[in-house]
Structures are given as C-alpha cells and as structure tokens.
C-alpha cells in the first residue's frame, strides 16, 4: 500500500474512524446524543472535504482496484450529502422515539463507507463487499425501532430478500470470472473487446489467471447468464420491478428518516455500481442487456405509478413512487451513452433533494410513534401549518416534475437522452407515466389545501437541525431546477470519464 | 500411488497407534502416581510392582463392564460421539514428526491440519452431550462448545508467531528452523516467543478440557458432564481421547516452541543409536509437558465458568494478539 | 489413476448435495446442523481434491470448527421443541419448488452450453501448471518482507497470500468494516438494552 492509495480512500477511512469514535462516545458518555451527532457531522464534513480535494485528481489506487475518479467522487459526494441531510433530520426523531443515537449514526456512517466503496470499485469483489456493508447497515437501520413489530418485520423481510439478491449477484460474479478469468471491470472489458474483435488474447489478464483464461471466444450464453444474475442483484437494490416487491413494506416499516436514506443513498450507490459494471465492464455487450433494461424500466414505471394510485399511507405512496423514479433513471440508463449517464447522475441528485425533503416533512408530521401517516391526516394542512405545507408542496411538485423544480429538469434530461438514443417508445411511455404520477401527488396537494382536517393532528415546532435540513433540501430542489449548469457539468464530466474508461 | 508407499505408511500408522495407546494407558498410571505424591499418598501399588499393571486392570474392567444405553437417547449420534472423539484425537498424529524421518505424513500444511482436526474434536463432546438427552450432559456439551471456541482463537493466534519465525506451515520445517544455537541458548522458539508459549500452553490445557479448565465434566456440578450417560467401552473411548489429546498438546508444545527432536547428540555413540537419540529428546520433552499437565491438575482449583470465559476473551486473546503484532513488527523491521 | 480425482469429485458432490437436501428437510434443528457439517466437510474434500490444501484446512477450521460449533451452541441453548412442532413448509412450497427447478434448468442449460470456458487445463494432474508468468509472479511475491527466510510455502498457500495481501488488499481490509457492521447490527438487533 502506497501513500497515494491511502489518500484515495481517505474519505472512507475518515468515515470509518468517525463511526468507531461515535460508538465509543456513545459507550462512555451518559448523555451522548449531542456529542455523537457532533462527531458524526465532523466526520461527514471532513470526508466531504477529502472527496472535494480528490475531485480533480483522479487516481487509480491499490493497483487499479479502487478508482477515485470523477465518477466515483461525484457519487461519494452525493452519498455524503445525503448522509448529512439524514443525520440533520434524524436527531429530533431519535430523541422523540427514544432510540439510541450513537449506534444509529455509526451504522449510517458505515453504510456510507460501503456505498463509497461501491461507487469507486473497479473490481466486482469490491463491489460485492461494498454492497454487503451498505446492505447490512440498512437492514439494521430498518429494524431500528425494535419494539415496533412492523419495523422488525420490515427488517426481516429486507434482510431475507436482500441476502437472496446479493447471492444472485455473487453467483453472477463467479460465472463472470469463470468466463473471462478476471473480476476487474477494465480487464473484463478488455477481454471482451479482444474476443469480439476475434483476435487472440495476447496479453494475459492476470498473471495468476494466465493459464485459466484459455478460450479466446467467450461463450455468449455463459456471459449472458452472468450478466442476468448480476442484473437481478443490482435491480433488487435499486428496487426496479419485478424485484420491487419488498419496497413498500420496508419503506413503511423503517423509521422515516431511514426511509429517506434508503430511497436515495443505497439506491444511488446501486446505480453507481450498475453503471460502472454495465458501462465499463460489459460495455461491449450492450446489445445483450439494453433490451433487458428497456423492459425493466417500463415495468418499474407502470408498477410504481399504478401502485401508488391505490395507497392511503403516505410512506407507502412514496415507496411506490420510488419504484417509479427508479424506472425513470433506468430509462436514461437504457441509452448507454454519455448523455444518458449524465442524466442518470443528475436525476439521482435531484431525486435526493426532493425526496429527502418530502420525507423530512413526513417525519415531522408523523409525530411520536409515527401515528399520523395516512394521507387523510394531511387534510387541511395548508391552513394549519402553511409553512410546512408550502415546503411539502414544493417537494411534491418537484416529484411530479413541474417546471422550475429539480424534478422537471431531471426528467427533461432523461427523456432528452432517450430521444437522442432513439428510444422513442420508451420516451412516450415515460412521459405517459409522468402524467399518471401527477395524479397521486396532486391528490395529496388537493387534500392539503382543499379539504377540512379529518382528525386532530398535533405538530411540534421545527427544531434547528430540521430547519437546516429542510432549507438545504428546498434550496437544492429549486437551485437544481433553475440553475442546472454546475451540477450538469460535473455529471457530464463524470459520464465522459466513465465512457473513456472503456 | 505405488503399493510400497501405502504399505509403509500403514506400518508406520500401526506402530504409532500401538505406541500411542500404551502411552495413553500409562499416562493414567503416571497421573495417578504423581497426583498421589502431591497429596502425600502412594497411588496404585497393588497391581504389579509400583502398580505398573494398573492400566491393564483398568482396561479389563472397562471392557467387561455392562455396555448400557439409556432410554430416550438419540441413538445414532449417541453411538457416533465417542467414536468421533477418539478418531479425531488419533488423526492428529498423522502429521506429528517424532524425529527426523519419523513421521507418518509430512503435510505442507501440517500445522493447519492439526488446528483443523483439533477444532473438530469438540463435536464428539457436543454430540455426546446432546444425544444423551440428559440435563447434565447437555450442560457439559454446551460449556464445552463455548470453551473450545473461545480458546481455539487464543491457540491459533499464539501459534502465528511461530509461523512467522519458521516461515512454513510444515511441522518438519518448523522444527528444522529451530536447529542450532544462539551462543549458549538453543534456537528454540520459546525464547523469542515466551508470551506466545504462555498463551499456547494455557489455551491447550483448556482445549483438552483438563483441570483447571475441565468445566465440561465438572463433577461437583454436572455429575460427569458430557459423558454422564456413557459406560463401559464408550466411556473408555472418551477417556482415551482425552489422554491422547493431552499427548498431542504436549507434542505440539515441544514441536512449536521447544525445538522438537533437537538436542545434543553424543558423537561417541554408534550410528544406529545416534539416529534414535532425537526420538529420546522428543519423548523427554513430551513427558516433561505431561508432567506439567498433571502437576497443574494436582495443585490448582477449578475455574468458575464466567472466570473461564473472561480470562479467555479479556486476557488471553488480547495478549496473543499483542504478541502477534509485536512479533510481526520485529520481523518486518529486520527483513 | 486419472480416474480417481473424477471419482472423488462425483462422490464428494453427491455427499454435498445429499447433505444440503437433508439440511433443509430435517425437522430437528440439531440434525440439520449435523448435515450441514457433512456438507461443509464435503466442500473441504472438494478443495483437497483440487489440491488446494490450505483452503481445505481453513474451511474445516473456520466453518466446521468455528461457525458450526456456535450454530450448535445456539440451537442447543434455545429450546427449539416448539419450532419442531410447527409446520415446516407453507402451502406455497409446490410453487417454490417449481420456480427453483425452472431456474435450475435454465442455469444448467446455459452452463452446459457455455462449458467451453471452463477448460481450466488438466485438473487430473492437480498441480498448478506453473508457466512463466506464474513463476515470475511467485518470485515477485517472495520479496515481501515478513515472509520468512525460507520463504517457500507451497504455491497454493503462497498464491492465496499474494491474492489476499497484494491484488485484493483493499477488499480484504474493507471486509473488516463489513464484520464490524455485522457485529454492531447483531448487538443492536438482539440485545435487550442498548
């Protein structure tokens, strides 16, 4: 290990150290909530600085296993931002529900480490380990309200199905190694390119594997199975249909701030791994997997949006909408072009701001024990708490994709990339779905401003960290809707970097 | 695989088995004698001179006792457990080098083999405890599994230091690496690895379920622990397994830390005798360790269960870890 | 003599598969655990058959000597008599079996079609054919400080060391974070009072 290697994973080192520190503080201090939160903020901010410094100095660390390139750094920055917002919005919640803060923050930090590793990994095994770290942290966070049965049930469901999905992924990795003799994405790509060009594999992919990688012609069927299995594992993690079945239950059962985290960060991390594996490693085989993405994208959009129409619980509704949004992202992914990747990145950032903002309002209004989560509890909110209702409206409008908000430009970039990629039908279906989606978001808006409250819903005033988180989310949502250029430039840069890496 | 090879290996194995059985039997006599002396008694004196035929009498007694299978046991595991215990205990001797060339098989992962085999030894006890369908047995089995897991960690960690010094997993090469002297002191691993040896030996006593760590069969609380429901030859198998394990542990301590068969070979002896001298040194060291075993048994009281656990996890494992870190640092700096 | 490795392979595979099926169908949890141990032993045997002695020993040491002992410990500690009386399979098991069989058939079909890529040289002879690149690789590993003066472990152990501490250093180290998360998670989920 060289010093440059350590610098490349410095953000992850900082986060791990912060996580351990937070746990120790929790063990040794009587009233540890504030101290733990402070250490968490410090760790996250230090990590953000470390990533920001790396942004323009891409390095390949650990002999090319870990790539701290602009693509990876873009995602790591996003995860850290999400983690920061979630921590800000959790402190009041944790206090209200009487949950132990130190472990919660520590798990959040460790989960972020796993995601950072996933986003920068150029090695399937590393992707797997990162995936497992973030998943394990998520399983526990979902079940963090231990005395609430729905929370435990959600945790168990997520754990069982998630383990199953990662097993699929791992089997895919094994078969990929079997057919190419390597688990390193760039080498897999090299091997494919050589094979497709019909040349003999001149340079061995790995010294130890030199005598393993024998055939120059890759049996397409085996590679196909490997791709399919890895696809299943990753599609589960981004909650794309037909692997979406867990999403509503888990999102509903999890503590609301955790739901906000789950619907943004691990999903973005899974997309990062998805993009890197499929664009870099399997780019040469795009003909084989792009139609797969096409089907899954359409299914996700329809199942998500139609499911959301029927929901009475706001968390379940947002869960179904999360499935649909994964579908939109997959539309951009289907193009497998630099444009499409940039659109994916932009959409994920936009979605993070608006979704965390929306869940923040849901957290706050849920009250002690998360009692007020039905959509009818939001009736008349506009009159009783105009400020909160206003904020919530902005987020919902952004989720619909109304102009001037982040959601609109996100969708715009997605569909533009799809049109450029000649995916006209997919674009049509996507736009159609945006229309369906508007209905259930508007239903909440209408209920907030146009109906009388069904029952008394108490609401405490917002505290400082929540206000800050809310402010950041709103500003982010509006900023991305009005001035997309800066973020889009970064996204384009990252996307081009990914394209070059092939 | 040529036939002569198989035959030679078979002969070796039979010789080792016979010697081992005798040693295990006389170890009982040895223990009874020494414990008696420690307690200012005579020990067995009636059967043969100095009670030397006592093991034979014991064997006849055990063989001719009624073989009793209690009602309500889980039959297959109940019968399997003692056999498993003994088999696993004997397997370890396949790779132990008694002298240069006196070894059944020189595996290149000999050390790992021994660790792996001894880690399986616990199944005999756990299965016996469970299959007996009796409270005392079950408690003994439970205790044993927890104890084995805890102390196995310490054993493995303490051995890694030796591994780093020897640069090999083969037991023969570990012994070879300990030949020669530093000035007056022999190049035995025990000198650089004193802490490692300390951890190893304590953990080995716990692994073999001997006093002061014999909680799986603590007679004051559990009647006889995991073998409460066993009689006759099945009980004898557990008994032999325990003593064989003691011999294994002593052999391992000798090989890993005390230079194995190395020792001064007088040059005036005729050549055939010279070849046997290493065997003598090896046996002497092993007997010494066996004596220490018995000595500890005769002098120390039994640990309480929580003391045992906290001693293992909070003292022995960290100590072995520190030893490992320091050793690897020193080796890395010297390289 | 070239028949033997193949024979052992099929024998061990039969043991593994049989053990695995018995593991999931036994009603008594202890029996399941015992069959799982048999399965794991079979896997160790497969490693041995492929001349991966180190892996075989570690498989026994870690899985059989460590993890499964803890499994048994927990199973015996917790009274599972109630669980044994519960219905073992729910009424969807036929569908599940159907799905699993379909998936298996699918995978088998594709793997058989793609078996070309599994030509890993002659497994019968067992030893890694050390061609120039591998020898070079091993030599380059030798100068890692701390490998000891003799420095020549057998290639299998050495290759694993090189893979773990050189090529896959980061995954290997990051795995410690994974374990830490798992420990924290287990304590958070299971402990009465945090």
pLDDT score of A203: 45
Neighboring chain B residues of C72 at a CB cutoff of 8 Å: 126, 130, 145
C-alpha torsion sign, points A243, A249, A251, A254:
negative
Residue C123: band (very low, low, confident or very high) from pLDDT cuts 50, 70, 90: very low
pLDDT in tens, C136-172: 555 554 444 334 334 444 467 777 887 788 888 889 9
Report the pLDDT averaged over residues B233-256.
87
Same domain membership, residue C8 and residue C70: yes
Tokens of C160: 């694993």
pLDDT score of C80: 65
The reply to whether C20 falls in a domain is: yes
Q: How far is CA B53 from the centre of its chain?
A: 24
Highest-scoring range by mean pLDDT, A269-273, A372-376, C92-96: A269-273
Report the pLDDT averaged over residues B327-333.
88
Among C178, C179, C189, C190, the residue to mutate for chain A (most A Cβ within 10 A): C178
Give the number of residues written for chain B. Answer: 335
Provide the mean pLDDT of chain C: 76
Same domain membership, residue C73 and residue C151: no
A9 and chain C: CB distance < 8 Å anywhere? Answer: yes
Contacts of C188 (CB under 8 A, 6+ apart): A100, A103, A107, A140, A144, A146, C194
**DSSP classification of residue A207:** G
Q: Do A65 and C121 touch (CB under 8 A)?
A: no
pLDDT score of B49: 82
| CA distances (Å), origin C126, targets B165, B168, C2 | 30, 22, 10
From A321, A329, A334, select the one nearest A346 (Cα to Cα): A329
Give the number of residues written for chain C. Answer: 194
Residue A207: band (very low, low, confident or very high) from pLDDT cuts 50, 70, 90: very low
Q: Which of residues 168-227 of A touch C (CB under 8 A)?
A: 175, 178-179, 204, 206-208, 210-212, 214-215, 217-225
pLDDT score of B183: 75
Residue B254 CA to residue B278 CA, distance in Å, equals 12
Report the pLDDT averaged over residues B147-176.
85
pLDDT score of C84: 66
Highest-scoring range by mean pLDDT, A341-345, C71-75, C88-92: A341-345
A106 and chain C: CB distance < 8 Å anywhere? Answer: yes
Closest approach of B110 to chain C, Cα-based (Å): 9
Q: A60: part of which helix (H) or strand (E)?
A: strand A59-61
Residue A380: band (very low, low, confident or very high) from pLDDT cuts 50, 70, 90: confident
pLDDT score of A170: 93
Q: Do C146 and B328 touch (CB under 8 A)?
A: yes
Whole-number percent of chain A with pLDDT over 90: 54
Residue B62 CA to residue B68 CA, distance in Å, equals 12
Residue A308 CA to residue A338 CA, distance in Å, equals 31
Residue B69 CA to residue B83 CA, distance in Å, equals 15
Neighboring chain A residues of C168 at a CB cutoff of 8 Å: 65, 123, 125
Report the pLDDT averaged over residues A336-355.
92
Q: Minimal Cα distance from A138: which residue of C? A: C185
Residue B92 CA to residue C29 CA, distance in Å, equals 30
Residue A442 has pLDDT above 70, yes or no: yes
A241-246, Cβ contacts within 8 angstroms, sequence gap of 24 or more: A241/A296, A241/A299, A241/A300, A241/A302, A241/A303, A241/A304, A241/A323, A241/A327, A242/A296, A242/A299, A242/A303, A243/A165, A244/A300, A244/A303, A244/A304, A244/A323, A244/A326, A245/A161, A246/A157, A246/A158, A246/A161, A246/A162
Residue B85 CA to residue B80 CA, distance in Å, equals 9
Q: Minimal Cα distance from A111: which residue of C? A: C181
Residue B74 has pLDDT above 60, yes or no: yes
Report the pLDDT averaged over residues B29-35.
87
Could you give the number of structural domains in chain C? 2
Closest approach of C101 to chain B, Cα-based (Å): 33
Report the pLDDT averaged over residues B280-301.
88
Residue C48: band (very low, low, confident or very high) from pLDDT cuts 50, 70, 90: confident
Contacts of B14 (CB under 8 A, 6+ apart): none
Residue B229 CA to residue B143 CA, distance in Å, equals 17
Same domain membership, residue C6 and residue C73: yes
Residue C122 has pLDDT above 80, yes or no: no
Q: Do C157 and B109 touch (CB under 8 A)?
A: yes
User: DSSP per residue over B56-92, as a string?
Assistant: HHHHHHHHHS-----TT--HHHHHHHHHHHHHHHHHG
Q: Do A132 and C189 touch (CB under 8 A)?
A: no
Q: Minimal Cα distance from C59: which residue of B? A: B116
pLDDT in tens, A3-19: 888 888 899 999 999 99
The conformational region for residue A159 under phi > 0 = left, psi -120 to 50 = alpha, else beta, is: alpha
Q: How far is CA B133 from the centre of its chain?
A: 28
Residue A210 has pLDDT above 60, yes or no: no
pLDDT score of C81: 67
Lowest mean pLDDT among C73-77, C102-106, C120-124: C120-124
Instruction: Report the residue from C133, C170, C188 with minimal CB separation from A126.
Output: C170
Report the pLDDT averaged over residues A96-114.
91
Provide the mean pLDDT of chain A: 87
pTM summary value: 0.86
Answer for the pair A55, A81: CB distance below 8 angstroms, yes or no.
no
Residue B142 CA to residue B130 CA, distance in Å, equals 9
CATH assignment of the domain containing C4: 1.20.120.1200
Chains C and B are touching, with contact defined as 3 or more CB–CB pairs separated by less than 8 Å: yes
Q: Do B142 and C73 touch (CB under 8 A)?
A: yes
Neighboring chain B residues of C60 at a CB cutoff of 8 Å: 116-117, 119-120
Neighboring chain C residues of B169 at a CB cutoff of 8 Å: 54, 153, 157
The reply to whether C92 falls in a domain is: no
Residue C180's domain comprises 131-194
Residue C9 has pLDDT above 80, yes or no: yes
Q: B119, exposed or middle or buried, with CB in 10 Å at 0-12, 13-18, 19+? A: buried
The reply to whether C50 falls in a domain is: yes
Q: Do A63 and C167 touch (CB under 8 A)?
A: yes
Q: What angle do CA A236, A241, A242 make, to 5 degrees?
A: 85
């Amino acid at each position: 290990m060289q010093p440059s290697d350590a610098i490349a994973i410095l953000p992850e080192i900082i986060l791990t150290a912060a996580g351990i520190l937070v746990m120790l503080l929790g063990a040794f201090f009587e009233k540890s909530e504030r101290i733990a939160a402070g250490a968490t903020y410090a760790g996250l901010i230090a990590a953000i600085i470390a990533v920001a410094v790396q942004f323009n100095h891409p390095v390949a660390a650990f002999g090319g296993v870990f790539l701290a390139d602009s693509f990876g750094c873009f995602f790591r920055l996003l995860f850290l931002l999400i983690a920061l917002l979630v921590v800000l919005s959790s402190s009041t919640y944790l206090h209200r529900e009487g949950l132990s803060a130190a472990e919660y923050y520590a798990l959040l930090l460790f989960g972020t480490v796993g995601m950072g590793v996933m986003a920068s990994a150029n090695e399937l095994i590393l992707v797997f380990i990162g995936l497992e770290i973030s998943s394990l942290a998520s399983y526990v966070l979902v079940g963090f309200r231990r005395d609430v049965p729905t929370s435990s049930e959600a945790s168990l469901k997520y754990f069982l199905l998630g383990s199953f999905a990662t097993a699929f992924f791992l089997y895919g990795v094994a078969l990929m190694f079997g057919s190419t003799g390597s688990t390193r994405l760039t080498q897999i790509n090299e091997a494919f390119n050589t094979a497709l060009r019909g040349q003999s594999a001149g340079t061995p992919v790995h010294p130890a594997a030199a005598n393993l990688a024998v055939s120059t012609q890759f049996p397409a069927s085996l590679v196909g199975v490997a791709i399919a299995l890895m696809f299943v594992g990753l599609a589960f993690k981004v909650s794309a249909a037909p692997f979406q079945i867990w999403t509503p239950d888990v999102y509903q059962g999890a503590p609301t701030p955790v739901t906000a985290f789950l619907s943004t960060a691990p999903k973005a991390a899974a997309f990062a791994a998805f993009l890197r594996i499929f664009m870099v490693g399997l780019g040469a085989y795009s003909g084989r997997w792009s139609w797969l993405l096409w089907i899954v994208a359409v299914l996700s959009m329809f199942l998500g949006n139609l499911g959301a129409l029927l929901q009475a619980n706001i968390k379940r509704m947002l869960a179904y909408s999360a499935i649909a949004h994964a579908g939109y992202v997959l539309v951009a992914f289907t193009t497998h072009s630099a444009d499409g990747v940039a659109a994916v990145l932009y959409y994920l950032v936009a979605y993070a701001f608006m979704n965390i903002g929306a869940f923040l309002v849901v957290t706050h209004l849920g009250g002690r024990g998360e009692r007020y989560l039905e959509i009818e509890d939001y009736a008349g909110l506009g009159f009783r708490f105009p400020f909160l209702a206003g904020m919530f409206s902005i987020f919902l409008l952004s989720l619909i994709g109304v102009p001037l908000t982040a959601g609109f430009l996100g969708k715009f970039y997605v569909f533009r990339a799809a049109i450029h990629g000649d995916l006209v039908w997919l674009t049509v279906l996507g736009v159609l779905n945006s229309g369906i989606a508007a209905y259930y978001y508007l239903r909440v808006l209408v209920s907030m401003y146009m109906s009388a409250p069904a029952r008394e819903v108490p609401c405490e005033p917002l505290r400082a960290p929540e206000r800050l988180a809310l402010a950041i989310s709103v500003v982010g949502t509006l900023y991305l809707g009005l001035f997309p250029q800066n973020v889009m430039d970064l996204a384009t840069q990252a996307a081009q970097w990914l394209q070059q890496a092939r | 695989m040529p036939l002569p090879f198989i035959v030679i290996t078979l002969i070796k194995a039979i010789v080792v088995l016979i010697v081992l059985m005798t040693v295990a039997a006389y170890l009982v006599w040895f223990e009874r004698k020494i414990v008696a002396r420690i307690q200012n008694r005579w020990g067995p004196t009636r059967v043969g001179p100095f009670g030397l035929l006592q093991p034979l009498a014991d064997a006849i007694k055990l063989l001719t006792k009624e073989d009793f299978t209690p009602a309500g046991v889980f039959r297959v595991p109940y019968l399997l457990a003692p056999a498993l215990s003994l088999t696993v205990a004997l397997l370890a001797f396949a790779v132990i080098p008694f002298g240069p060339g006196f070894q059944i098989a020189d595996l290149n992962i000999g050390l790992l083999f021994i660790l792996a085999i001894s880690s399986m030894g616990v199944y005999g006890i756990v299965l016996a405890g469970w299959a007996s369908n009796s409270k005392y047995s079950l408690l003994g089995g439970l205790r044993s599994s927890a104890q084995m897991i805890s102390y196995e960690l310490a054993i493995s960690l303490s051995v890694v230091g030796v591994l780093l010094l020897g640069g090999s997993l083969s037991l023969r090469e570990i012994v070879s690496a300990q030949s020669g002297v530093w000035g007056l002191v022999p190049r035995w691993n025990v000198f650089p690895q004193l802490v490692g040896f300390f951890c190893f030996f304590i953990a080995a006593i716990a692994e073999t379920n001997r006093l002061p760590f014999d909680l799986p069969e603590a007679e004051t609380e559990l009647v006889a622990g995991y073998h409460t429901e066993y009689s006759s030859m099945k009980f004898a198998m557990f008994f032999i397994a325990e003593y064989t394990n003691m011999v294994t542990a002593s052999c391992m301590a000798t090989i890993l830390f005390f230079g194995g068969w190395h020792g001064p070979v007088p040059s005036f002896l005729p050549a055939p005798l010279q070849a046997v001298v290493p065997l003598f040194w090896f046996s002497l060291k092993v007997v010494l360790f066996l004596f220490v075993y018995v000595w500890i048994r005769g002098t120390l009281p039994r640990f309480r269960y929580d003391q045992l656990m906290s001693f293992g996890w909070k003292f022995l494992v960290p100590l072995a870890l520190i030893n490992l870190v320091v050793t690897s640092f020193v080796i890395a700096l010297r390289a | 003599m070239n028949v033997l490795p193949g024979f052992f392979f099929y024998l061990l595979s039969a043991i593994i598969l049989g053990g695995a099926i018995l593991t999931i169908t036994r009603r008594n949890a202890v029996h399941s655990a015992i069959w799982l141990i048999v399965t794991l032993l079979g896997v160790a045997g497969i490693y041995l058959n492929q001349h991966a002695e180190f892996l075989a020993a570690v498989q026994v040491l870690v899985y059989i000597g460590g993890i499964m002992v803890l499994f048994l410990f927990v199973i015996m500690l917790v009274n599972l008599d109630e669980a044994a009386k519960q219905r073992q399979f729910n009424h969807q098991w036929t569908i599940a079996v159907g799905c699993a069989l379909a998936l298996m058939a699918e995978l088998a079909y594709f793997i058989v079609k793609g078996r070309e890529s599994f030509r890993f040289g002659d497994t019968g002879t067992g030893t890694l054919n050390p061609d120039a690149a591998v020898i070079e690789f091993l030599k380059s590993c030798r100068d890692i400080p701390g490998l000891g003066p003799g420095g020549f472990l057998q290639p299998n152990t050495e290759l694993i060391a090189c893979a773990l501490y050189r090529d896959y250093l980061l995954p290997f180290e990051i795995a410690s974070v994974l374990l830490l998360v798992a420990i924290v998670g287990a304590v958070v989920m299971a402990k009465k009072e945090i």
